[in-house]
Chain A
C-alpha cells in the first residue's frame, strides 16, 4: 500500500492540515479540554479526603472531636505515642502485613507459574476457586471463617488475621505473576538449558529474574490489601486490634489527630514505594 496509492487516500491528519477552518476541529479541542478538566475534577474529588486527613493532623483542636478547624499546630506530632493501644494497633497492622505478604507472595508466585506455564488437569477448577476468592464479598468470607473458627475452638487473633489476609490476596498475586509468565519469551530458558544449565539453575538465574517485576508488584499489592483491610479483619481479629479497627472503634467518641498523622505517614511511605516501583519497572521494560 505504498507509492502512488497513498496520496489518493489522505489520512485524517493530512485532512485536518488541509482544512484548518473545518468546523470539526475546534469542537474536538473543546471536547478534549472538557474531558481534561473533568479528569482533574475527579482526581480532586479522590484526593479531597486525603487532604483533609493530612490537614487535620495539624489542627489545634482542644476537644477529642477533630472536626472543625481551630488553627495550625505541630503539637500532635510530638504526642504521637499518646495512645499506647493505637501504637500497638499500627504495629500489629505492619506485622500482619509483612507476614501475610511473605506467605502470599510465595504461594501466589507458585500458583502463577503453574497456571502460566503448564497445561494440566485441574487448571479449570483452580482458576474457578481463585476467581471465587477474588469476587466473594469479604463480609461472607469473614463470617464463614468466624463460624468455622468458633466451632473448632480456634482462638481468633493475630494468626487468624494473617491466615485470612493470605486467603483474599493470594489470587491477586497469582494473576499478576501469571501475566508476567505468559508474556515471557520461553526461548531464553531453552537457550540456558542448551548451554547446560540445570532446571534449578535455569529457574534462579533466568526465569526468576524475568518474572521478578510481577512478583514485586504482586507483593506490594498484597501488602497494600492487608494493611487497608477492615471487613475480614473485623471478623477474624478476636481481641487483636489493627489500625483500621482502632479508627472504626474511635469514630463514635471522636478520632484524635494522631490517627491523621499516622495515616499521613503510612500514605507517604506508600507513595514513595509506589513511585519507586513505577520508575524502576519502567526502566526494566
Chain B
C-alpha cells in the first residue's frame, strides 16, 4: 500500500511545476489568441478568430522565410554533423569523450555572445573581410552581415552540436562486427555504409532534426544580430508583438500558427520515416 504512493509523491513537485507553468499557460495562450484588447485596458474573450487570418495574412512572408531558413539550417547541420559524428564514433578510439567535450565546450559561452562574436568576425571592416578587401580579392562593397547567408550560417553554427550528439549516439550503438560481417560477404565500403550504417543511424538523425528544426524556425536572435530588415523571421515578429507592441492576442495567434506549422512538419516527417523511429527518438 505504502509503496504504491511513493512514485506519485516523487513526481508530484516536478509534475505540478510542469503542469502549472507549461500546460496552463499554453491553454491560456490559446484563449488569448482569440481575445481582443490590449495590456492597458485589459483583454476580452470575444472568440475573435480573425486574429489568425489577419496575422497570417500580414506576416506570411516571415512565416515562409522562417520555415525555409529552418529547413536549410537543418539540412546543413545534417551534412556538416554526420561525417564528424561518424569519424568520432568509429575512429575516435580512446579520445572519443575528448572530442565530444570539444564539441560541447563552445556552449559554455553564451549563445548571444557567440552570435555577437560572429558579428565581429563578419563585419564589413572586421578581421575576416577587411584584409581580403585590402588585397583586392573582394570588392569594397562586399558584405555578409544582413544577408540570408549570415542568418542561415548563424543558425547552422548555433545548433550544430544538437545534431552531432544524437547522430554520434546512434552510430556508437552500431556493432562494428555487423559491418565486418557485411564486408566478409563482399560488400564494398560504400555498400555496407548505405545498407547497414546509414539505416541504423537514422533514428539519431531524426532526433537531431527534432532538436534543431523547431528551435531554428522559431529563433529570432540570429536574425536580429546577423540579419537585416530583409531577413526578419517570425520569431522577431512574435517578440515585437509581445514586448514592444504589447499586442498579446496577435502574438498568441502567431505563436499558435507557428506551433501548428511545426507540428504538421514533424508529423509528416515522422510518417515518412515510420512511427517506430519517432517513438525511439522521443523515448531518449
Binding site for B on A (CB under 8 A): 9, 11-12, 24, 28, 31-32, 35-36, 38-39, 42-43, 45-50, 52-53, 56, 66-69, 106-108, 110-111, 113-115, 117-118, 120, 122, 126, 129-133, 135-141, 143-148, 150-151, 163-164, 166-167, 170-171, 174-175, 224, 227-231, 234-235, 243-244, 247-248, 251, 255, 259, 263, 266-267, 269-271, 274-275, 278, 282
Contacts and interface: CB of A to CB of B under 8 A. Distances in A.
B110 interface: yes
Contacts of B214: 135, 137
A243 B56 CA distance: 34
30 contacts: A12-B183, A36-B87, A38-B87, A39-B99, A43-B99, A49-B109, A49-B120, A66-B120, A67-B123, A68-B130, A69-B127, A107-B17, A114-B7, A118-B7, A122-B11, A126-B15, A129-B19, A133-B22, A139-B255, A144-B252, A144-B255, A145-B25, A147-B32, A230-B110, A234-B239, A244-B113, A248-B221, A251-B119, A270-B109, A274-B101
B17 A266 contact: no
Interface in B43-62: 43
Contacts of A224: 107-108
Interface stretch (B78-86, B136-144, B195-203, B269-277): B78-86
Interface of B: 4, 6-8, 10-11, 13-15, 17-19, 21-26, 28-29, 32, 39, 43, 80, 83-84, 86-88, 91, 97, 99, 101-121, 123, 125-127, 130, 157, 160-161, 180, 183-184, 189, 210-211, 214-215, 217-218, 220-221, 225, 235, 238-239, 242-243, 248, 251-252, 255, 258-259, 262, 282, 284
Contact of B225 (A52, A146, A150, A251): A251
Contact of B109 (A39, A68, A108, A263): A263
Contacts of B86: 35
A68 B110 CA distance: 22
B18 A130 contact: yes
A139 B217 CA distance: 10
Given A143-B29, A150-B248, A274-B101, A263 B113 contact: yes
B78 to A, nearest CB: 13
A138 B103 contact: no
B6 A166 contact: no
B85 to A, nearest CB: 9
Given A118-B6, A137-B214, A166-B17, A50 B106 contact: yes
Contacts of A235: 242-243
A217 to B, nearest CB: 12
Nearest first, the 10 closest Cβ-Cβ pairs linking A and B are A270-B108, A49-B117, A114-B10, A144-B25, A107-B14, A118-B7, A137-B218, A144-B29, A35-B87, A111-B14
Given A120-B4, A144-B29, 15 more contacts: A46-B160, A49-B106, A68-B125, A107-B14, A118-B7, A118-B10, A130-B18, A139-B238, A143-B252, A144-B26, A148-B24, A148-B28, A230-B112, A234-B239, A251-B119
Contacts of A282: 97
A148 B103 CA distance: 37
A126 B11 CA distance: 8
A129 B121 contact: no
B282 to A, nearest CB: 6
Contacts of B282: 131
Given A107-B17, A230-B110, A251-B225, A275 B210 contact: no
Contact of A140 (B99, B104, B121, B259): B259
Contact of B126 (A67, A117, A145, A166): A67
A140 B258 contact: yes
B255 to A, nearest CB: 5
Nearest to A174: B14
